[in-house]
Structure 1
Amino acid sequence: MSRLAHSATLDVVEICAGAGGQVLGLHQAGFKHRLAFELDPHACATLRANSERLGMTGDWVREGDVASWNPAEIAGVDLLAGGVPCPPFTIAGKQLGATDERDLFAWAIEQIPLVKPRALLLENVRGLSMPRFAGYRQHVLDRLLSFGYTGEWRLLHASDFGVPQLRPRFVLVAMKPADFRHFHWPSPLDSPPTVGELLRDMMAARGWEGASAWARRATGIAPTIVGGSKKHGGADLGPTRAKAAWALLGVDGLGIADLPPGPGATFDVGPRLTADMVARLQGWNDGQFAWTFTGRKTAKYRQIGNAFPPPVAHALGVAIRAALLRSAPSRRLASTVEHDPVYRALRDHGGFMTHAQIERAAGAVIPPHDLDRRISLLRQDFEVESRDGAYKLLSFKAFTGQSDHARHSAFAEQRSRIS
């Protein structure tokens, strides 16, 4: 029986907390925040504005670069959680990974032996699950294993948890094996409501006569909502393909409205969404997931659009809590998944390996062009030395806390544009 088996609340420290989607979901799952770290001042203001709702007092929101904080301050927390920056991995970006100054995934992993949390929860975009980052993912699992933790990745879809949106998130959960045996990934719920069903009352709030007809047209779920970044202009609902998908639902994705449509309003495509409507599509509501957002329209929309949907965070929080309290059934742990046999071969050998040696270690035929491609991918995140047709895996390029890492100067130069 866990020492916490009779405890009603577990504590959590959250990094890169944003506007609080994960904060609220974990709170509703029975976690109490010790601290929340966030870079964006608008998001910090929103977190503070919801302190009373969360039962929080004092200086629990820390504004600034989380990598500058002392991990000893949060040592021994039950759960270390966060949604570290997505741009290093997003398919829509350059996928710079370990060489992106915004990458904090590797840094977060290296805090484990210092913080010693009972559980870890990190989420990011689907891009991190792609072949481009196979070596990066395996390095993360290797480091967790060296710290005595078992980790698993899982691609979760927000629409499986009542959120009417195509929002895949790639999630990492890790614990010590004794606790992880009791962790079960949350099961999908019933189908979510359609966009029209969810927003009809909000569209009709100012007397627009077309709200019911619009709702009957908006019979699908929303494309992935993107909050954008400070590098771009005002708020809109995403790139061209997303705007076309919104148009099929009768929504003008070229911007965000200040208010719902009024009486007599007509549209070529359809009405625009307000920030409050987008919040509802992200899983916030007037009941279990009620929340207050601060800031003007664009800042408010970016907070909402970049958030982790509270219902998804809640489902994960419930599963993690059950594992830590060992109230869920025990399961047999699978062996650590290997994502990249070329990375594994070079990692285990430690020296130079020829093509033939890599094939033997991988237990598979790897055509020359495929090996070249895999080495090229690895080189984006690792130093790889080549000599006379042989390869040697060297250091990981990511920022993991080094005081002399190039991340610091790049971060300082880009500070005003980093979301």
Structure 2
Amino acid sequence: MAGPEEVVEICAGAGGQALGLERAGFEHALAVELDENALNTLKHNRPSWKTALGDVANLATWKPSDYEGIDLLAGGVPCPPFTIAGKQLGATDERDLFAWAVELAGVVKPRALLLENVRGLSMPRFSGYRQHVLDRLAGLGYVASWRLLQASDYGVPQLRPRFVLVAINKDDAPYFSWPEPAEHVVTVGEAIGDLMASEGWEGATDWASKADKIAPTIVGGSKKHGGADLGPTRAKRAWREMGVDAMGVADAPPQPGATFEVGPKLTCEMVARIQGWSDDYEWTFTGRKTSRYRQIGNAFPPPVAAAVGTSIMRALRNEGDPAAGVPVDHDPIYLALRKAGGFVTQAQLIRAVGGIEVPELERRIGLLSRDFDLTIETRSAGPAYQLGGFKAFVGQSDHLRHDAFQKNLSSIS
């Protein structure tokens, strides 16, 4: 009888995805993480697991070829290259490891690949980037698809949209389907009302009634931007409407007789509940308060990871009825340029994509040029375009990522 399905997890963080995948039935062959505080939490909770500390793209940290044929390669690679609140540098951001992780699948040759990131990666800005990923995975023998998942659909009391990529080998892919949302939506008051009352605060019941809502996305922040709070101005306003003071994190639940102008602050334990940790997903976070908050806020909610992991597990075990196929949404401009293999005139592109207006075409060409080398040739009849190489780091020894990564290492999280 075959042994249990195993996973190698890159950019493992403090263990949100790890715990969810364990719940889905996977055993960890290795977990790799850059941040020592997060890895300490992971090791504290699962001391028997093999772990590696350091830059996941550095062969001195681990040797991917040692894990060839693993059942699942998974990870939550850095979000800043794609976040809507950031510069959306994508392929030219030294923290971008998404394209590298896709190439890693060609080395490790897992039966399945799971990568998650922020909603920004789903936006039109990155349509060419996404298409390149799908094309590359198809070339490696995988059937891949993207899905924007809301954490609140899987028992987590916050919105927290995550853009998830799942790629499965062609034999098992027909058995994969995205997880269905849970029937019950959990609210903040329901999730942490008992913690608010745990020290005897008399206002806990009324507070829980006011907080009978879904929370905005918990923001973990970064080493670069200081201490713990619950996010930008818009998020703070939403927290205030629920009776939560979002300007920082409390050391303890409210005490008897406590009164507040806005409401109590949340403790790290409360934030962890809102992020999906609970009695069903027990976990202990180590380190100082700000570090613990950052570990929690940057994690992939365990119930969401469990839901996706369970769907992947069923596919690998060929459970259920196979589907006919996975629809693929192509970026028509990228596709036309890639197929041409040479220069494509503006008029040809307009015809290929169905009559797009020139200003919109130029805007989208500009977006593509941020992630791909793009040559523009001026001709008498108008410009012509040629698609070149992908700018992202995919393992090149001379890529600018290496110097930039070392220069900014102290602020990368």
Verify same fold: TM over 0.5. yes
Match of 2:345 in 1: 354
Match of 1:17 among 12, 16, 37: 12
Query: 2:152 touches 2:186 (CA, 8 Å); kept in 1?
Result: no
* TM-aligned CA deviation for residue 192 of structure 1: 2.2
Matched, 1:63 2:53: yes
* TM-aligned CA deviation for residue 225 of structure 1: 0.3
Match of 2:294 among 279, 283, 302: 302
Match of 2:371 in 1: 381
Match of 1:400 in 2: 394
Query: What code does the residue aligned with 1:355 have?
Result: Q
2:187 and 2:356 map into 1 onto residues whose CA distance is 46
Unaligned regions of 5+ residues in structure 1, if any? 1-5
* TM-aligned CA deviation for residue 7 of structure 1: 4.5
2:173 and 2:148 map into 1 onto residues whose CA distance is 18
Matched, 1:368 2:362: no
Percent identity of paired positions between Structure 1 and Structure 2: 63
1:234 and 1:356 map into 2 onto residues whose CA distance is 52
Query: 1:152 touches 1:174 (CA, 8 Å); kept in 2?
Result: yes
1:401 and 1:26 map into 2 onto residues whose CA distance is 27
2:404 and 2:28 map into 1 onto residues whose CA distance is 31
* TM-aligned CA deviation for residue 366 of structure 1: 1.5
2:181 and 2:281 map into 1 onto residues whose CA distance is 18
Q: Secondary structure at the match of 1:117?
A: coil
| Equivalence map 1:201-280=2 (5 Å) | 201-280=194-273
Matched, 1:410 2:404: yes
Query: 1:252 touches 1:270 (CA, 8 Å); kept in 2?
Result: yes
Match of 1:38 in 2: 33
Match of 1:3 in 2: none
Query: What code does the residue aligned with 2:51 have?
Result: V
Match of 2:310 among 318, 337, 342: 318
In the TM superposition, what whole-angstrom CA distance separates every residue of 1:357-385 from its partner, at most 9, and x where no partner exists? 112333x0011101110110001101101
| Equivalence map 1:54-93=2 (5 Å) | 56-57=48-49, 60-69=50-59, 70-93=63-86
* TM-aligned CA deviation for residue 140 of structure 1: 0.1
* TM-aligned CA deviation for residue 292 of structure 1: 1.0
CA RMSD of aligned residues (A): 1.0
2:4 and 2:178 map into 1 onto residues whose CA distance is 20
Matched, 1:292 2:284: yes
* TM-aligned CA deviation for residue 63 of structure 1: 0.5
Query: 1:194 touches 1:219 (CA, 8 Å); kept in 2?
Result: yes
Segment drifting more, 184-193 vs 156-165 = 184-193
Query: 2:285 touches 2:292 (CA, 8 Å); kept in 1?
Result: yes
In the TM superposition, what whole-angstrom CA distance separates every residue of 1:14-71 from its partner, at most 9, and x where no partner exists? 000001000000001100000001000000000100115xxx35xx111100001321
1:67 and 1:193 map into 2 onto residues whose CA distance is 38
| Equivalence map 1:96-111=2 (5 Å) | 96-111=89-104
Match of 2:385 among 382, 385, 391: 391
In the TM superposition, what whole-angstrom CA distance separates every residue of 1:185-241 from its partner, at most 9, and x where no partner exists? 000002322211111110111111111111111110110001000110110000000
* TM-aligned CA deviation for residue 350 of structure 1: 1.1
Match of 2:129 in 1: 136
In the TM superposition, what whole-angstrom CA distance separates every residue of 1:363-411 from its partner, at most 9, and x where no partner exists? x001110111011000110110101111110011100000000000000
Q: Secondary structure at the match of 2:172?
A: helix
Query: What code does the residue aligned with 1:394 have?
Result: G
Query: What code does the residue aligned with 2:156 have?
Result: V
So what's the TM-score if we normalise by structure 2? Answer: 0.97
| Equivalence map 1:145-184=2 (5 Å) | 145-184=138-177
Query: 2:350 touches 2:357 (CA, 8 Å); kept in 1?
Result: no
Query: 1:8 touches 1:30 (CA, 8 Å); kept in 2?
Result: no
Q: Secondary structure at the match of 1:174?
A: strand
2:327 and 2:204 map into 1 onto residues whose CA distance is 53
2:183 and 2:158 map into 1 onto residues whose CA distance is 14
Query: 1:159 touches 1:191 (CA, 8 Å); kept in 2?
Result: no
Match of 1:333 in 2: 325
Q: Secondary structure at the match of 2:217?
A: coil
Query: 1:89 touches 1:95 (CA, 8 Å); kept in 2?
Result: yes
